[in-house]
Structure formats: C-alpha cells, structure tokens
Chain A
Amino acid sequence: MGNLLSCKDISFAYRDSKQLALDNVDFSIDKGEFVGIAGAAGAGKSTLVRCASGIVPKFFKGPFSGEVLVKCKPIRKKRVAELAGTIGTVFQDFEAQLFSTNVRRELAFGMENLCIDRETMLRQIDKITQLVGLTDFTNREPQSLSGGQKQRLALASILCLNPDLLLCDEPTTDLDPIGKNDLLDILDRLVDSGNSVGLVEHDTERLIRTDRIIIMRDGRIVASGKPTEILSDPKFCIENGLFAPQMFALFSLLSLSEHPLSVEAAKEVLDSRGFIPKAIPEGAEMPEPGGSPLITAEDVHFSYTPNVPVLQGVSLEIKRGDFVCLLGQNGSGKTTMVKHFNAFLKSTSGRVFFEGTPVDEIGPAKMGRKIGFVFQNPDQMLFAANVFQEVAFGLRNYGIAEKDITRKISASLEAVGLDGKEEVDPFIMTKGERQKLAVACILACEPEVLILDEPTTGLDAKEQIAMMELLGKLNRAGHTIIIITHSVQVAAAYARRVILLESGKIIGDGTAREIFSKPDLLSRTNLIAPPCVRLGCMYGLSVLTVSELAESIERKVR
C-alpha cells in the first residue's frame, strides 16, 4: 500500500527571497499515522504543510520543484478547493478561519461548497460537534467563543469535510494549557479512529505522543524517527528550537538511559534506581525587592459590557524592582488588569495608584513613560520604514531632544541584541526579532516598569530563552518587570512572584516556589504545573526547573 501523502524531492523558495524555504525534502504520511513536525522558527515547517496541501505554489508564488502525491496521485494541477475533502488544513490564527454568524453555519460552509445535501450536513454537524465538544454551541456566534473553543471550531469546520489527512500548522500556539489539551486530545481520538494527522508543534511534551517526529532545519529534514529517539538529547532539541521533554532532560542530566513518557513513569524508574530527595541547593531563590510600592490596586472592578464582570475586586501591590508574572487561562482578566495600570481602562469601581498618585489623574499619555507596555502582537505597533525610525517614534512623541535620541536608540537596540540592524525594515524581520524590536521601542523611553503581554508566544525555544534572559537582565538593571502569560514553564523558570488570576479574581499570590507547590491551586485555574515541578512535589520538594530537580535528588549509596 502506498503512502497517503508523499512529498518527493520538493524544493521551494518564496518569491523575493533568496533562501530556499524547502530544500530537497522527502516526506510522507501513512494512513492512520500521527506525525509531528518540529524545528526552529524559519526551519520550513509551515512551508512543508503548505506544499502538502497545495497552498504552495498556488497561493504563495515562487520557484517550485518536486512532486506532491496524495493517494498516489499528483496534486500539481489541482486547485486547493478541489483537495478539500481529501486534505484538511487548520492554521494557527483561528480568528482568520472563522467568518460566519453562528457555529452551525460555520460548520456547514465547507459542506455547502461541496454541494452535500442538507440531511447529510445536519448529521455530520451533529457528529463533529460531539467529537470536538461544541454540541451546546451550535447557535452561538463564533466571535463570542473562547480561544480554545474557536480553534476547536476551526478544526471542526475542516473535519466536517471528512478529510483523509488532517494537517495542523501550530494550532495550539495561542491557546492556554487547557485549550491546548482539549485540541490535542481530539487529534488523538482522530488518529485512534484511523485518520492521519500531521501536526506542526513546538511543545515537545505533546509531540512525544505522536507516532513519528521529523525535525526540520534550514528547509531540510535533519532527523526523523520515534519521539523517544529524536527528543532524548536536550542539546539537539535546543539547537532545533525545542525544549526537550522535561523528563527526558532530567534523565539526561542524571545520566539515565530511559525515556519516561510521564511523570509517574519517571518516578517509578527513579525509585527503582534508588533516588531519594535531598535539600534544594542554596541560592536558588531570587531575593525579594526591598523597594517601595510602585503600583497599588485597590479593589478594582471592571466590565466591558454590563453584567459581565471581567475583574471582580482585584487588590495588589507591586514593589519597585520586582519580577512579577500574572498567570491564568485565556479570559481570566490578566490583560484587562494591567491595562488599568497605565490608565488605558478606567475601573468601574476601585482605584489604581502609581507611587501613591491615582493613575487616572496622571493620564495614559504620561503613564506611557512610567510604564512601558509591550503588546502580545508586535505587528499592532510596528509601522515605520526601518528599525531606527521605529524606535525613534516613541522618543519623539515624548519630546526627547534629537541629540539624545540616537544614543538612547543604540542603547535599547543593544540591550535586545538588535544593534547593527538600524536600517532593516521591521516587516521582513522574524517574529522573534519583531518581538525584540517592540521591546526596544518601549525600552528606549526608559520606563520604570515594563509590562509584556505573552512575550514568549510564537517564539521557538532559543528565542524564548533569549527573550526571558533579556527580561532578567533588565530586571537586574533596576526595571520592574510584569509579564502576562499562560505558560507555566516560563512563570516557573523566570518569575520571582506569581499572581494567579481566575475569573477576574486573584486566587494566589506569592513567590513562584510557593505558588507551584500548591497543585490544587493551579488546577483551580485549569493550569498544570510543569512535569519537573510535579515530580518534585512527589518527593516533597518545591523545585521550579529541571536542573534544580536534578540537583535536589541523589542516588542512595547502598
């Protein structure tokens, strides 16, 4: 039996790009196979998916060679629409895939195009909504759904066409852990029922559940095989923009050859090898800042529409020089909360103070200099023709003298590692670089506080480490850092203080160690502690990182 999908020796370069996005790639997916596609940013993962689904070279033009076969038939002459029903593709940005006025119509759209009769459509909608857990939502407006539900709807709208092969291009990037889990569970069920899935994904904790992984680098496939073989070397993973699964990384640090797929399996092996806990190494704690209170919120309530409270009495105090992480699932009120800090939003009741003065008296224009805000999507602020002009924009708005502007720009670009790129057009930079540029733009104005909304979303492992180390450096240089994230790994590894939000209320506030040692608190917010933290808990150790855990357990000498 031949492969369901087979890409033979394909090469492609995007028009206007000198580099090959794909370079002689051979790739296949068998019937019923679950294949993970991973690699650093710009490695060619999305291009591979686009080629396999015919989107390249039909929508993205450029020199293309090689052959893509679906069910042994070349797709070169077929339009993308003709492949619907054979290959289904789900993309990262779920907003761009939804355009109907209710869930039922959204699901029907594809079937209507294929001229499927009404009775069959209704049956299929019933079946698929059950599969993705949207049965009670068929009359809802897609825009009113949560992020996780929207992405499940985008997936369902493709599944309604009964594709033989489902390709997913980073579908979980913008989702919180629970949204991610739900979506990946659906993919597992699909594979169990005989479908084939190709999944582009950064999260290796998830990729270990696939049948096979390919790793891409510079447009080539550099490794292909079972997840336990491919992901067992942490160094190889990082080189390819991935964090190794934490249990694999731990076992590698402990020089053990096993590759446990779960925390429980890891504990069993460690027990059998006689590992016991010892104390957490000294000096692991970030010191508490002794500074004065900078931001104070007192019983803040807020709602965008009447009777739908988003914040329900939030009170907190943030000290100068702290590194704070606001953690919570999508829609828990994190971003809404910080928008009150620089008076972008006015609370329905309660007040926010900056150094003792109410922020609404200072006003958003002046607050911008005191609190710099880096939004989740850098593309919502970048507009200038080059990097220099982009950074100069804020400085000029604040009336900084031209002679100081160049100096400040150099300093901020150097801080984020973009020095020497002053003349580059921001639109051709990678997502990681644009994110750094956004930070530089804000940093140049020398605010006391930096707030970053989801600073690691969409970045590969190397870029994530670079971004978080940059923030650590800025924090040590005296900046107060507040990050908003739903990534428990980031919060555990980098934040000193973690504030846990759930439905607009603070349900936990303490050092990262305190918060992560309370699994029941995390589970209330539908978050799950990172595997190393959970394994640490089993030993009664409140560790935060893999290396900390490796140093906190030892083999009992018999």
Chain B
Amino acid sequence: MSFAFYNPTGGFFERVHPVSKLISLIAAFVPPFFGTEPVEILPYFALLFFAALLARAGSNIVRVYKLMIILFVMSIVLWTFFYKGQTPVYRIGPLVIMKESLLYGITIGIRLNCFVLAAIIFLTCTPIEDFTYGLSKLGIPFVVSFALTLAFRLTPLFIETGQAIVIAQRARGLDIDSGGILRRIRNYVPIIVPVLASGLRRADQLSVALESRGFGKSKKRSVVSEFPVTWRDYTLMSVIFMAGALMGLYRLA
C-alpha cells in the first residue's frame, strides 16, 4: 500500500514544466482572496474540483476529505464567534448567530479548501524529483530544495513504520483508546518512541546512502528528465490568470 500522493498518469498536468507548476500553484492561491462571499468563491472551488478530477486526484481527495470537512466546519464555528455581523438568523440560548458571520465563515472554509485542492492537484501530478528540480530552478540551492522535499518522501515511510509499530504494541496488549486523557497520552509513548528511533536511524542511513551517491559533490547538476515548455504550460497559467482576473473584476464591479 502506498501513502505517497504522486499518481503517475502522464496526463495534462503531469506534463507541465515543474517551474510552471510551482508558479501555477502559487498563482492558484491568489483568486480565493478575491471572493468574500460563498457565491463569489464557489465557482473557483468548482473549477479546482473539476481540475482535480481531470488530474485523477480523486483517490487523494478521498484520503483527505475528513481534513477538508474539519477545516470547513472549524472555520464556520470560529468566524461565527469572532466575525461581527448585524443580521441575526438563529438564536441558541444566549448565543445569537449573525448572517454575515456565518457567510464569512463559509467563505473562509471554502477558501481554505481551495488551497487544499490546489496542493493536492500539484502533489498528485508532480514526482518529488520534479518538485525539487522546480525549486532549484527558482533559485533555491539543490541541497536545500532536496531537504525541503525530503519531508514528502519520508512521510509515507513514517506512516508505514507507525502502522507496523501499532500492530506490534497491540500484540503486547496495548489498548490505545483506553483511559482518560492523560492515560491516552501515555498510551502513545510505546508508539512514538520506536517511531522516532526508527526515524532517526533511517535519517542516518539515508544521509550515508545519499553521499555515497555523490549528493552535494558539486553545485552543478545534470538532470535525466527532459522538461519541454509546451502549450500546456501556457494553457494552465492562462486559465488561472483568467479565473483570477474574472474574480478580481467582479469584486471591483
């Protein structure tokens, strides 16, 4: 079972130049800020959702849908409390819920989910190596960009190790969900210690393995993959630019 997000399909998004992908990702974060009401931001969310389906990111969305729901609900709850409105819509005991607060919470919830969707599309269509390459082409030294993307390489391995350790400790009678809060926190010690120990060990082994393959020998580096700039790059960036421009103009109008 693989825990990585990258899903090689060879489709439209995957064949975009890594630098274009990174720029597009950053650009895709901008339009949501133009929407201040659900109606204004929903079309953009729909566009991203459609793009995610095109990019075959469906299975990755299924993996994070709980996070997306939590973000959405938390945002509504928080802004209902902290954003001041004028029009009362509901009254629960002493608590009055204002229409403006509720709408703002929903907007921010959708905005956050737009970020999640954009990131998922990027991770689904970008091998880690291309991510690293893109960052280094944007001026970040290779060693630094490699270290930055290492988290994405190692997280799936950490999850796998964690699962194996949970099984091993359950075999020794550990019931993670038993007891009160303090007890539950303590229950995690037998899992966290081996996970950290194996993480440190792996980091050690990896650093040796990397240097044995010449990592960091020189600042210059060649690349085996070829990244031609094609119509896909222009199309992707144009779509994002147009979406942003439309939303910006609507906002101004």
A residues whose Cβ falls under 8 Å from a Cβ of B? 53, 55, 59, 79-82, 84-85, 88-89, 91, 93, 95-97, 99-102, 104-105, 108-118, 121-122, 125, 139, 141, 143-144, 157-158, 161, 304-305, 339, 342, 344, 364-365, 368-369, 372-373, 375, 377, 379-384, 393-394, 397-398, 427, 441-442, 445
Contacts and interface: CB of A to CB of B under 8 A. Distances in A.
Interface stretch (B114-122, B171-179, B235-243): B171-179
B168 interface: yes
Contact of A80 (B8, B169, B212): B212
A521 to B, nearest CB: 31
A393 B172 CA distance: 8
Contacts of B217: 79, 81-82, 84, 113-114
A384 B190 CA distance: 8
A105 B127 contact: yes
Given A84-B213, A113-B215, A381-B165, 14 more contacts: A80-B212, A89-B212, A97-B205, A99-B210, A105-B127, A105-B224, A113-B213, A141-B2, A377-B164, A380-B164, A381-B172, A383-B190, A442-B171, A442-B172
Contact of A368 (B6, B171, B198, B215): B171
Given A59-B208, A81-B215, A381 B173 contact: no
Nearest to B220: A115
B164 A375 contact: yes
Given A53-B212, A82-B217, A110-B213, A397 B205 contact: no
Contact of B198 (A53, A342, A379, A394): A379
B86 interface: no
Contacts of A112: 221-224
Contacts, number: 170
Given A82-B217, A379-B194, A394-B172, A88 B1 contact: no
Nearest to B130: A101
4 residue pairs, one from A and one from B, having the closest CB atoms:
A397-B173, A110-B213, A113-B214, A108-B224
B1 A304 contact: yes
Contact of B127 (A95, A102, A364, A397): A102
A103 to B, nearest CB: 12
A533 B27 CA distance: 68
B10 to A, nearest CB: 10
B218 to A, nearest CB: 6
B208 A80 contact: yes
A343 B238 CA distance: 54
Contacts of A442: 171-172
Contacts of A344: 167, 170-171
Contacts of A161: 213-214
A68 B129 CA distance: 35
Nearest to A59: B208
B20 to A, nearest CB: 19
Interface string B115-148: 0000000000001110000000000000000000
Contacts of A55: 208, 211-212
B92 interface: no
A274 B187 CA distance: 67
Contacts of B213: 84, 109-110, 113, 157-158, 161
Contacts of A157: 213
Interface in B15-72: none
Interface of B: 1-2, 4, 6, 8, 127-129, 153, 157, 161, 164-165, 167-175, 189-190, 193-194, 197-198, 201-202, 204-218, 220-226
A121 B223 CA distance: 9
A59 B217 CA distance: 16
A330 to B, nearest CB: 16
A106 to B, nearest CB: 10
Nearest to A160: B213
Nearest to B192: A383
A373 B169 CA distance: 10
Contacts of B168: 373, 375, 380-381
A54 B206 CA distance: 16
Nearest to B2: A143
Most chain A CB within a 10 A radius of its CB, from B210, B212, B214: B212
Given A91-B209, A114-B217, A115-B218, A369 B226 contact: no
A498 B225 CA distance: 49
A161 B208 CA distance: 16
Contacts of A397: 172-175
Contacts of A122: 224
A108 B222 CA distance: 9
